[in-house]
Structure formats: structure tokens, C-alpha cells
Structure 1
Amino acid sequence: MTNTSTRPGERGAPATISGKDAGTIARASFVGTALEWYDYYLFGTAAALVFNRLYFTTMDPTAALLASFATFGVGFAARPIGAILFGYIGDKFGRRPALLATIVMIGIATGLIGLLPDFGSIGLAAPILLAVLRLVQGLAVGGEWGGAVTMAIEHAPVEKRGRFAALVQVGSPVGTLLSSAAFSLVLLFPSETFDAWGWRIPFLMAFPLLLIALWIRIKVEESPIFKDLLAQEETSKVPALDVFRNAGGRLAVAVMAALLGVGGFYMITTFIVSYGSNTLGVDRQVMVNATLIAAVAQIFVTIAMGRLSEKIGPGKVTMWGGILTAVAAFPIFAMVDTKSTVMIMLAITIGIVLIAVAYAVNGALLTELFPPKLRYSGVALGYNIAGATSGFMPLLATAMLGFSGNQSWGGALILAIIALITAVGGFLGERLRVQDKRIVSAD
């Protein structure tokens, strides 16, 4: 339904969506998101391989690893705060300014980690500053993903939202690929060189990558649906409060649906990398290379699941992804326990691919759980509350190793539980989806 007496964006006219613009915006969101996830994922790998030895040197090895993962988890705890902050900006002033702010924050914080002296140089200040920089990363990522998928979805025709939302999700495996590749290269250095300065190179790369990402984000146009909200004077005064007050049930479903994509991913990458290298004694290079192979496979699965969601619905895809991951959880860890290079690579690849089934459609599902005026805040809160909850899963799984005599069943049990929770979230989410009404295609 088009109002021919007014131009799109004026009061009374529906938002105009162009398929050509949707592809451009989704690709820009993908590139920016990939660079942000590169920055964020570096910390997870470094937490498993470096920080426990260089920033927590006064502790015994197990305590140091726990402290390293606790610092890793701080970023997740900060993400809901970032979701509230940038959700307010995104739902009140625009999706675009929020996304520009997040890219600057995370790029600077990541680069500064590469410049941070270790415990031997500045003592207790080193782990404290490390935690502060991780906190800044968490705040920025708390607003990043929700804004990126919201922008992609709100520029896309309704019937093609699955593929464009999935394109943003491809940023995650590409970010993993870049960060894992960077660590694989610096791990080729002798151990002394790697510990002294080699590990810092991937973090310092955040500075030039920030310039690239910022240039991409500056060219992105504001969401036509948000422009329509402004024209209709329908923006929320306090979006996060309205989400909790008026869409609390939908928020709970969003958290459940997103839990596996975040928590499961870090169980497979961060915890298994740590478990394999620190507990089983597998070469660190083998564990990192396995994540590289898995990331490549994840890209293709993500694209395919985005298309499938357009046919059967993102909620159903999420549900089946959760069920399949729960079934495979214990076999995956059993394969890692063999210490076989081939089996470890196969296990990590299978794990990431199954998790990607649900993760691929998170953007499509979560954005359709909330109305446009609460969308940025609702999506960001749902995803990042799930992140805050599941970010400490590697810490919990590592702690459980002490109770199980270094047996992997504790990690497998955690993965299976969060997978089943996500399956329920997908089942409920499919029944709660809403679609925007005030849009018209320009194609």
C-alpha cells in the first residue's frame, strides 16, 4: 500500500525497501561485523593460550587458567549493559550512529591490548587493565550485533530477510577465520618469541582494520524503517524499559533462542581449545587449525540455513539445530578425548557446523520477535543476555574438570543443556514472529 501524495520517510508514507539496497547494506554490515568479531574472538584464543601464563603468573596453572577465563567472561557480563546503551541510541537516534560508535570502541580497545605490558612489567596493574579493556570490548559488542542485523533486516524485502540476516552472521566465522589464522601464523614463532611479542601482532592489527571498518560504516545509509518511525513520531523514550515491561516474554524467548549460538560456540572453540592443549596435551597448533577448518564449513552452512529459513521459518531451523547439537554433544567430546589430530578436527568441525544451524538464523528470528520501535534494544538485549549467561560456560566447564578428574563429560553436559534450551526457544519463537506492516518494495 503506497501513499502517492507523500514521499517515503514523510509522515503518512510507508518505508520503502529496495532489494538492491538490501544487498549493499547487508554486505557492508557483514564486513564491519566480521572485523568486530575478529577483534572480539582474539581475546578468547589468547585467554586459552597466552593470558593465563603472562598476566596471572603468581597462580598455579589451574587457577591462572580460571582467572584468564574469568577475565574473558567479563566481556560477556558487560554486553547487556552495552545492549541497553546502544539500544537506546539505536532506537532513539538511529541505527547508524550506534554502529559507528561500537566499531570505534572495540577497535581501540583491542589494539590497546596488544600494547599492554604483562605482569612481569607492571605487576597487578596488568590483569586489571586487561579486564578493563575486555569490559570495553564487551560494551561495544553488546550494541554491535543487534544493530548490524537490524540494519540488514530493515533494508531487506520481507520474503528475503533470511538470506540477508544470514549474510551478517557469516561475519562470525570470517572473524573466527581471521583471528585463528592470525594466531596460527604467530604460533610459528619460537615459544620465547611468541610469549615476548609475537602474540601481540594480531591485536595490533585492530588499528588498521578499524580504519577499514569505519570507512565502510560511514557509507551505510540509515534504516528506512527507522526513518518511518521518526516521521510517525513513534520512537520509544526508554526502549530497554519498554522491552522489559511490554515484551518480557519475547525477550525470554530471544535469550533462549540465542543461547546455543553464543555459548555453544565458545564451548567448542575456547573451552575445547583449552581442554585439548592444557589438559590433554595436544599441540596448540592442532587445536587452532581445527577452528580454521570449522570456520570455513560454518560459512557455507550459515548461507544455506538462511535460505532454508525463508521456506520453513527461522524458528524451526533453530529448533532442529538445538536438537541435533544436543544429540551430538557427548560424541563430540569423546572424539576430542582420543587426542587424534583427525578426530579432533572432525569433532570441532561437526560441533561448529551443528551450532551454526541455529546461529545462522538468529538475526532473522530475533528481529521478528520485536516491533520496530523496540527492535534494536530487544534484539541486542536478547542476544547479549544470552551472551552474558553463556560467556562463563568455559569457566564453568574448566572448573568441572576438577570435579570429574579431568574427564570431559562435564563440558558435554553443559553443551547438551544449552542446546536443548535453544531448541525450546526456536519452537516458541516461530509462534511469536511478527512482521513489519508499513513497508513497500521499490523493486
Structure 2
Amino acid sequence: MTEHDLTSRPTVTERDARRVAFGAFVGTALEWYDFFLFGTAASLVFNRLFFVSGNPAAATAGAFATFAVGFLARPVGGILFGHLGDRIGRRTCLIVTVVMIGVVTGLIGLLPTYVDIGVAAPVLLTALRLLQGIAVGGEWGGAVTLAVEHAPPEKRGRYAAMPQVGSPIGTLLSSGAFLVVALLPPEDFDAWGWRLPFLAAFPLLLVALYLRRRVEESPLFAQLLAEDARASSPVLEVVRRAWPALLVGAGTAFLGVGGFYLVTTFVISYATAELGVPRSLILTATLVAAAVEIVVLLVGGRLGERFGAARVTVVGGIASALGALPMFWLIDTTNAVLVILAVTVGVALLSIPYAVSGDLLAHLFPARLRYSGIALAANVAGVASGFVPLAATGTLALAGGSSWGPGLLLVVIALITTLTALAAPRLYVRS
């Protein structure tokens, strides 16, 4: 059986590579808009309207637990779409995932609340979150694989970073949407305003679907298909033969995903519920951070081309560990400028390894296993990441309400990414 790598692919023009990267970016932006929207709503809406309780802390924990359910479902999506992506093609799977998450998100905007249907409300919300997680579990790995396999070898870092840019765009769209509806009177916000960002997923889906349908299949996969060089059971082969790469890949992706949810989803809840920071201020901070993150991701992709993805990941991990506690100290001041600065710098630092995550993971798996390998590694990290806001809430309680608890949790996450990135080059496949 012929083993393909990143340098043996058929020639692709840079114009085609740009079109594919843009299509991957747009679809990923919609996916992350939908997924991040749930995280923001968990902090501001679901804890009050779906998890009604006399104990606010218990209601928030229930909302965050539902948030985490989406991450538990992501490996299912990674397994399902990873297998299909390495067997029938990357493009087909990416069309299915973008439709699936767009429809599910719109349906969340139509759900009755606890007051309307009782316990069925959080049950239905959890079910839709599971479907969201399955779709996202198959999305990112496919988008990165498609972008990498179309990219010129010397420019792989910048093209692999394009699906990553979908993350801050999704944050900008989701936080911006909630910032607008948060301006409504509280009674209108609770009655119907919070639904509007979810319902917007329907028209956004039409745009994303149009652009994604124009994306061509990976020429490298077409070559694998023509030569009958596909793996018969790619997911099983990754688990059995490439498990060290799978674990290392998950570790390198942990900070970019788990750290992000700590600095955004948890901090939104912490700042508003514990410190009394206005919702508009903390949402503004996430908007500014997302805008800066776009620049960091684009620059980080270029740095990965020059210095290597693993080295850039190590630098970002160390910087994030050093900045974790100072970030929370600034947030604790509740000063508007310092809060925005803290969230922006925190997101920027953890975005350094996130910028090169796709490039690094692509190095760890051969083409015949790449979709499955990348999807599984990212989603193993995603499972742990889904519980980060819940864990941060627990560390806050253990620390007696002091922010050093979640701050130290961020340090641990950053060090895990740093150590696994140091080990990653030893597992690279030829590229």
C-alpha cells in the first residue's frame, strides 16, 4: 500500500488553495459562531431560564454541565466523520457538518423554557447540544485537512491557520449578537431577545452552504481513491498504531481550546456573577480579544512556517502560563480598561499555539489517516476542554472565591500543552 505525505500530493495552484482555505474558513466561522453562542448563553440565559433553581450556583453549574455535554459528543463526531472523511471524502463530510450545526442552532432559538414545559426544556436543550457537539466534532479536522492538502508546502502554515481564524470570527459574531440584544430591557431579553442570535443561524447557514459547496475535494484524497490506498478502518488504525501521536496531538491542542473557554466562558460568568461587572463590559472585552486574536492567528501561521509549529506552541504555552495569574488580578480590579486588557492579552497568548495547531497535527498523521487523526486528537482535547468552565467554578469555590484557583488551572493547562509540544517533533511523519 502506498503511503502518501504532504509533499507527494498532486500539484495545486495557489488560487485553488486560497479558494479552498476561504471556504474552510467560512464554514468553520459558522460552526464556531453556533458553538460559542451556546457558551455565552450558558453564562447569561440558560442558567436562569432553563435550569431554574433556588441556588444560583447550582443553576450555573447545570448550565455549564450542558455546555460540557457538547464536548462529550465531539469524539463521536470525530469518529464518525473522521472515518467517512478518510473513506468517502473530506468535502462531503464538511457539507453535512455545516448543515447539521446550522439547523440545530436555529432550533435552540425556538425552544420553550422551563416555565413553559418544565423539565423537558433542559432535556431538549441538552439533546440539541449533543447534536451540536457531533457536528463540530467532525468539522474542524476536515477543514484543516482540506486546507493543508491544498496548500503549497512552503505556505502550509498560513493556510492551516485559516480554519483557526473562524474561531475569533465566530466569537465576534456570537458575542456581538449578544451584546446587541443585551441592550434590550431585561424582560424583553428574557422573553425573546436571547433567541435572535440563535435564529440568525438559519440565514447564515445558507451563505456558508453556498460557499462550501464551491470547495473542491482534496486532490490528495482523489489520488488515494484512485490508487485504492485508503485505510479500511482509519479510526481503529489511528487508535491502534498512532496512539502516541493521538495523545501528544491532544495535549498540544488543549490550551487553544480549553484555555480559551476558561478565559471566555468562565470569565464571563465569574466577572458578572462574582464581581458584578456589567454584561456589556465583559462582552465588549471578548469582542476586542477576538479582533486581536485574528491578527495573532495570521502572524502565528507565518511564524510556524519559519520556526516550526512545535516551537511556536512551546513559546505560546510558556507565555500563557506566565500570564495566567496576572490576567485574573487585572480582572479582579473590575476597572473597565484593565478587564478588557486582561481578557485580550489572555486570549492573545493562548492563540499563539492555537495558530499552528492545524499545521502541527497534520505533521503527526499520514494522509490516509489524517482526517481521523486530526479529528480524534482535537476532540480528545475538546472533551477535557468542555469541563474546564465547570472545573474553574470548582477551583474558585475551593479557593474561597479567590481567582488564584482558576488562575492555577490555566497554568496547568498551559504546561500540558508546552510539554506535549516538546515531544511532538519525534512523532512527525515524513512531510
**Which TM-score bucket, shorter chain as reference?**
over 0.9
2:61 matches 1:66: yes
The aligned residue for residue 43 of structure 1 is 38
Counterpart CA distance in 1 for 2:61 and 2:67 is: 10
Assess if the C-alpha contact under 8 Å between 1:50 and 1:195 holds in 2: yes
Per the alignment, residue 104 of structure 1 pairs with 99
**In the TM superposition, what are the counterparts of 1:23-422 in structure 2 within 5 Å?**
23-422=18-417
Contact 1:306/1:360 (8 A) holds in 2? yes
CA distance in 1, matches of 2:199, 2:109: 5
**Separation (CA, whole Å) in 1 of partners of 2:54 and 2:420:** 40
Residue-by-residue CA offset, 1:296-326 (whole Å, 9 max, x unaligned): 0000011001001001101100111001000
Q: Quick check: 1:87–1:240 contact (8 Å CA) kept in 2? A: yes
Tell me the distance in 1 between the aligned counterparts of 2:14 and 2:430: 17
Displacement of 1:435 in angstroms is 4.2
Q: Per-residue CA shift, 1:52-109, capped at 9, x if unaligned?
A: 0000113410000000000000000000110000001100000011101101110011
Q: In the aligned structure 2, how far is the partner of 1:179 from the partner of 1:194?
A: 15
Give the Cα–Cα distance (whole angstroms) in 2 for the partners of residues 73 and 433 of structure 1. 31
| Residue ranges of structure 1 left out of the alignment (5+ in a row) | 1-8, 437-443
The answer to which of 77-86 and 14-23 deviates more is: 14-23
Deviation at 1:19, TM superposition (A): 1.6
C-alpha separation in 2, matches of 1:59 and 1:372? 53
Segment of structure 1 superposing worse, 397-406 or 50-59: 397-406
Q: Is the 8 A contact 2:9 2:149 kept in 1?
A: no
Q: Any stretches of 5+ residues in structure 2 without a counterpart?
A: none
Taking the aligned partners of 1:112 and 1:282, their CA distance within structure 2 comes to 31
Distance 1:368 1:230 in 2: 21
TM-score by length of 2: 0.97
> For residue 6 of structure 1, what is the aligned residue in structure 2?
none
Q: Structure 1 residues 245 and 404, CA, compared in 2 at 3 Å: closer, same or farther?
A: same
Query: Would the aligned equivalents of 2:34 and 2:198 in 1 still touch at CA under 8 Å?
Result: yes
Amino acid in structure 1 at the alignment position of 2:353:
A
CA contact (8 A) 1:70 1:392 kept: yes
In structure 2, the residue corresponding to 1:303 is in which secondary structure? helix
CA-CA distance at 1:431 after TM superposition: 3.3
C-alpha contact (below 8 Å) 1:316/1:430 kept by paired residues: no
Whether contact under 8 Å (2:304, 2:356) holds in the other structure is: yes
* Separation (CA, whole Å) in 1 of partners of 2:428 and 2:238: 15
Matched, 1:426 2:421: yes
Q: CA-to-partner distance for each residue in 1:199-253, whole Å, 9 max, x for gaps? A: 1000000001111111111111100110111112111111111001010000011
Partner secondary structure for residue 161 of structure 2: helix
Q: Does structure 2 retain, via aligned residues, the 8 Å contact 1:333–1:408?
A: yes
Q: Secondary structure at the match of 1:222?
A: coil
Normalised TM-score (structure 1): 0.94
- Structure 1 CA distance, aligned partners of 2:288 and 2:9? 45
Q: Which SS does the other structure have where 1:170 is aligned?
A: helix
Partner of 2:13: 18
Equivalent residue pairs, number = 425
Assess, with a 3 A threshold, how the Cα gap between structure 1 residues 14 and 131 changes in structure 2: closer, same or farther: closer
Task: Specify the code of the residue in structure 2 equivalent to 1:110.
Answer: T
Partner-residue secondary structure (3-state), 1:368: helix
Shift of 1:370: 0.2
Counterparts of 1:349 and 1:313, CA distance in 2: 25
Checking the alignment, whether the CA contact within 8 Å between 1:75 and 1:136 is kept in structure 2 is: yes
Q: Secondary structure at the match of 2:402?
A: coil
Determine the structure 2 residue equivalent to 1:5. none
Checking the alignment, whether the CA contact within 8 Å between 2:141 and 2:374 is kept in structure 1 is yes
CA contact (8 A) 2:108 2:128 kept: yes
Percent identity at matched positions? 56
